[in-house]
Structure 1
Amino acid sequence: MELDGNALGGDLSTVFATDVTDAVFVCAGCKHSGVVATLRVWEPAPGLVGRCPNCTDVIVRLVRTPTRVFLTLTGASRLEIPVEQP
């Protein structure tokens, strides 16, 4: 079942103190950039896999266990996380 990158939001919130679905990724493969919410996410699986909507390369893998969250961003050459202004 294919979802969008918003499916990563809840689990990513345990790793990051901000909503990462608004962060901009740059695909290491095709150099496409977009917000994490536009990633193509597939489940069910042992975890979530977010793929580039342009070339379908894997950008992020997230596996959650009862005691840990495993996160790989090897498919992203950059992740730009917006910072709230005071």
Structure 2
Amino acid sequence: MTVRSGDHDHLDGNALAGPLSEVFAVDVTAATGRCVNCGRTGPVAALRVYDRAPGLVARCPGCDHVVLRLVRTPDAAYLDLTGTVSLHIRLPPAAGEPGT
């Protein structure tokens, strides 16, 4: 969802799906993160993403604290998760694990 009005000029966290797919082998937008500032937990897809800077800045929808920054250069990606306490990413069972 894109929101472009007044003070709420942001995209939702699904805007991170493509850029983060270059770094991670799984869809990180489905992961659950915890904000370092207010402790809110929720899916990365629910973050407020601002794309009018060099890169993407994702903010907590609860307290507006910066949770994630991603900058892509021609030959590298810079990912800053300083505003994230944890990131819970569901993975398929490893080969040889029960359920495979």
Bucket of the pairwise TM-score, normalised by the shorter protein: over 0.9
Match of 1:48 in 2: 56
Matched AA of 1:84: P
Q: Which has the higher strand share?
A: 2
Identity of aligned residues (%): 53
1:1-86 equivalence runs, <5 A: 1-85=9-93, 86=100
Matched AA of 1:25: G
Superposition deviation, residue 83 in structure 1: 0.8
* CA distance in structure 1 between the partners assigned to 2:27 and 2:78 by the alignment: 18
The structure with the largest alpha-carbon Rg is 2
Superposition deviation, residue 44 in structure 1: 1.6
* CA distance in structure 1 between the partners assigned to 2:77 and 2:60 by the alignment: 21
Higher relative contact order (CA closer than 8 Å, sequence separation 6+): 1
Superposition deviation, residue 39 in structure 1: 0.1
**Unmatched runs of 5 consecutive residues or more in structure 1:** none
RMSD (Å), alpha carbons: 0.8
Matched AA of 2:59: R
* CA distance in structure 2 between the partners assigned to 1:18 and 1:72 by the alignment: 18
Secondary structure of 1:44's partner?
strand
Secondary structure of 2:37's partner?
coil
Superposition deviation, residue 84 in structure 1: 1.9
